[in-house]
Structure 1
Amino acid sequence: MAKRIPLAPGLFTWPAAEPALLGGRCGSCGHVAFPYREHCLACGKAEVAQVELPRRGRLWTFTTQRFRPPSPPYAGADTPETFVPFSVGYVELPGACRVEARLTEPDPDKLAIGQEMELTVLPFGSTPEGDETVVFAFQPVR
């Protein structure tokens, strides 16, 4: 039976009704980073604890991807003919960090700097075994 699995392990809690990104908080300097790493990017120490990041934040900046990214590394199930533009942006998570992510809203006229966003999970493609892959994204809070 096919299952839904993250495109890459360790990025977010899954399966979960309300998934959360998995970041790291340095016990030495307090720096928060995503994705989780064993060593702090700010001070280099190995005192990093894995933490769930806030599910909501504010759109810091964004752009629209109007052409299919080159493969590899892009692994989408679409083709140049079926590609649909999408938005990507940085979402500032309170008390944590800024996260680069796909946005669910492709129309730039419906996005605004400072807009409240919430984490969600989207279908992305499939594995050779037939499992559906999912990725994290942010959607506008209505």
Structure 2
Amino acid sequence: MRTPVVARWFDGEGDGFRLLGTRCASCAAVFFPREDGFCRNPGCAGGELVEVALSRRGRVWSYTDGRYRPPAPYVSDPELPWEPYTLIAVELAAERMVVLGQAAPGVTVADLEVGMEVEVVPGVLDEDPGEPSTTWTTWHWRPVGVGA
């Protein structure tokens, strides 16, 4: 069974995969993670919040590698040696925001540069072989044209 690590933050498969945010109907501010209670824009009196699919592509705003074992809910086996992972902050121009996420497997800081175009792709955070087996899904950022 495939289960999102956080419900309603992303949806779809393949080229239809998207991060999901919300947009205020009054001021058009876009939020990710989604906001379902009120408009976070302090200059807005508030309006209906509508779910929107965010841009699939953006540009690397910043990046780094995680050389420490992060706390839960990140899943890692303390019995295995720690493997660094790459984090990418991606600017979505249309939404005027930066979204943080892990790089797709195999993408390292050596593969990235500020301004490079990346796309959001489905990812796996963890797999639980219990009954029933569960694959915990998330999103990753991948340089455009790599591993497509």
TM-score (norm 1): 0.85
Aligned partners of 2:30, 2:8: CA distance in 1, in Å? 16
Note the alpha carbon deviations across 1:56-78, whole angstroms, 9 max, x for none: 000111111012112x332x143
Aligned partners of 2:56, 2:19: CA distance in 1, in Å? 7
Q: Give 2:137's aligned amino acid.
A: V
Q: Give 2:19's aligned amino acid.
A: L
Q: Give 1:137's aligned amino acid.
A: H
Give the root-mean-square deviation of aligned CA atoms: 1.9
Cα gap change, 1:57/1:36 in structure 2, threshold over 3 Å: closer, same or farther? same
- Asked if 1:92 is matched to 2:91, the reply is yes
Aligned partners of 2:85, 2:21: CA distance in 1, in Å? 25
Aligned pairs (5 A) from 1:62-77: 62-70=63-71, 72-74=72-74, 76-77=75-76
Q: What corresponds to 1:56 in structure 2?
A: 57
Instruction: Give identity over the alignment, percent.
Output: 31
What is the CA-CA distance between 1:83 and the residue it aligns to?
2.7
**Length, aligned pairs only:** 137
- Asked if 1:24 is matched to 2:25, the reply is no
TM-score (norm 2): 0.82
What residue ranges of structure 2 are gaps of 5+ in the alignment? Answer: none
What residue ranges of structure 1 are gaps of 5+ in the alignment? Answer: none
Q: What corresponds to 2:126 in structure 1?
A: 125
Q: Give 1:48's aligned amino acid.
A: L
What is the CA-CA distance between 1:52 and the residue it aligns to?
0.3
Native 8 Å contact 1:64 1:106 kept in 2: no
